[in-house]
Amino acid sequence: MSLLVEYTDPEWRGLNMRALGVDQAYMYLRSEYAEHSFLYTLSDECYTCPYTKVKALPAAGSGQQLAVEPLQLSTAYALNFKIFQHDQGRYAYENVSSLCWLRRTDLQEFGVYNLTLLANGSCDFAVDKPGVPINYAFLSVFVLVAAVLILLKLGSCAWRCYRYDEAAAAADSIGAAAAKATQRKRMRSLDTFRGLSIVLMIFVNSGGGGYAWIEHAAWNGLHLADLVFPSFLWIMGVCIPLSVKAQLSRGNSKARICLRILWRSIKLFAIGLCLNSMSGPSLEQLRLMGVLQRFGVAFLIVGILHTLCSRREQVLPQSAWHRAIYDVCLFSGELAVLLALIAAYLGMTFGLPVPGCPRGYLGPGGKHDLAAHPNCIGGAAGYVDQQVLGNAHIYQHPTAKYVYDSSAFDPEGVFGCLLSIVQVLLGAFAGLTLLVHPTWQSRIRRWLLLSILLGLMGGVLCGFSREGGVIPVNKNLWSLSFVFVTVSVALLLLVLLYYIIDVRDGWWSGWPFSECGMNAIIMYVGHSVLHKMLPWHWRLGAMNTHFVLLLECTWNTLLWVGIALYLDAHEFYYSL
């Protein structure tokens, strides 16, 4: 049972184990070396970084062993240790020889370790107390979540039975049949995709249990949290052609549709600004961009562009080959804009001269690349945002700051909007496929083909690796490979949901995610505003295990799922 909740003794040989946080361990330092020495460490998370100074070790007398106060180490990533005979300053570089070097990939949370510098200058590493495994917490919380969802489902069924008794159902049979027909026309897989995205967004914004692979990657790479925002943007793009076609079929003019798009974009941007002021309404330091702001910008451009390119009447071609590429033909105007945006992004990224930085730099600055470019975070993207928005109005606490000692950088800045629009345009093409291809087989074939193509293109750009390739996968920069890879994943997920929910009607209705997707804006704004309030969030004790953090963020997520189900039961839906 202790394995399931990461239990460890409160004390161990005088050490306060409760003082450790998640993914932390103690390490004793001992020295038998006759001279002073200095310990430096490097985490695998920090790519091409120098070693960072941690502790000075005192000189030991002949035959003596001196101990230093135990250190608290992070166990989230493998650690490299080097001990130098002389002080190298804040950072130590590879061109300086060390007394000893070792690398540990087996460090565990709540472990206690010994690192000894022997008299001959070599290192000895020993495990004093084994740590605890951290992944069993998922099993514990999964069982609890399954039980809660079963109770929610039973409660939902009981509520429906209470509201619709047999007499009412018989009396309203005609209306019920019409409502069911309307529900069938609505693709529940789209609502489910959107709902799954917002549920995951709430989960990761609540901390994701403190797991490194769930949280955003420090710079390059793709973690679970990095998939949420682009998926949300993409599914918005999928729905644009469906919405525009429905409005055109009702006789609305294109000018009226464009005005509605403009008004909705303004509301999204304004709500995002208001959310940014939650920490204080100081206009001198108000962050201007953000998640909803990027939604607003991308929706404005793609919505108006697709409206202007849309045809009020679409007559499918007679020839089979022409029908097979008809969606591409209809998308030709938007495709031209998509390619122009990619060309502009690449031209500025690799061609714009940034003062004090190498041309085409894509790193996080700080101590990346052996601290060669400390003030160059994001290269052209960071420079453009600094010039357009000003340093006081961009995000001050990027993930890279805590790993690479980087400066301020806005992952939702102005420059990244270029490829965010591309992300939404690729979603719009997937939505156009729904309108043009009449059979589920042809739709799935088109989506799978596009998914494979984009996945391969993204893989080639990043060299099928985390740090390699011409353009690494990077959510902070919203890189081209990031767009291709995330759209590829989104297409695969939509294929799966579409087949299970809409094609094989009855296998799964999309519950409870489809209900969440129909009130996504309420869930996003609500969880942002109420982020530090009961009953959504709570603190109990040290909160220093993945189990309790996972329990707390899952509770918050399930509470919002319950709110969405409640709103659905009362047939209340809100959209901007």
- C-alpha distances in Å from residue 447, one per residue of 45, 135, 437: 35, 34, 11
Instruction: Report the alpha-carbon distance of residue 20 to residue 465 in Å, rounded.
Output: 33
CB 272 within 8 A of CB 290: yes
Query: β-strand 79-84 against 100-104: which pairing, if any?
Result: antiparallel
CB 228 within 8 A of CB 200: yes
CB atoms inside a 10 Å sphere around CB 61: 9
Q: How big is the chain by its Cα radius of gyration, in Å? A: 27
Strand partners, 72: 26
Instruction: Report the alpha-carbon distance of residue 273 to residue 291 in Å, rounded.
Output: 10
Cβ neighbours of residue 378 under 8 Å, at least 6 residues apart? 362, 364, 365, 385, 409, 476, 477
CA 397 to chain centre: 16
User: Which one-letter amino acid corresponds to residue 109?
Assistant: E
What are the backbone angles phi and psi of residue 173, rounded to the nearest 5°? Answer: -60, -40
What are the backbone angles phi and psi of residue 125, rounded to the nearest 5°? Answer: -120, 135
Cβ neighbours of residue 568 under 8 Å, at least 6 residues apart? 515, 518, 519
Taking Cα atoms as reference points, which of 264, 268, 300 lies closest to residue 421?
300
- C-alpha distances in Å from residue 320, one per residue of 308, 327, 438, 449: 27, 13, 13, 18
**Catalytic-role residue among 36, 216, 223, 393:** 216
CB 467 within 8 A of CB 218: no
DSSP string, 181-214: HHHHHS-HHHHHHHHHHHHHHHHHHTTGGG-TTT
- Strands, DSSP E only, in 63-122? 66-74, 79-84, 91-92, 100-104, 112-117
33: which DSSP letter?
Answer: -
As a 3-state breakdown, the chain gives helix, strand, coil percent values, each rounded to 5, of 55, 10, 35
Task: Give yes or no: 393 in active site.
Answer: no
CB 440 within 8 A of CB 503: yes
DSSP string, 149-168: HHHHHHHHHHHHHHHS-HHH
Which residues are the active-site residues? 216
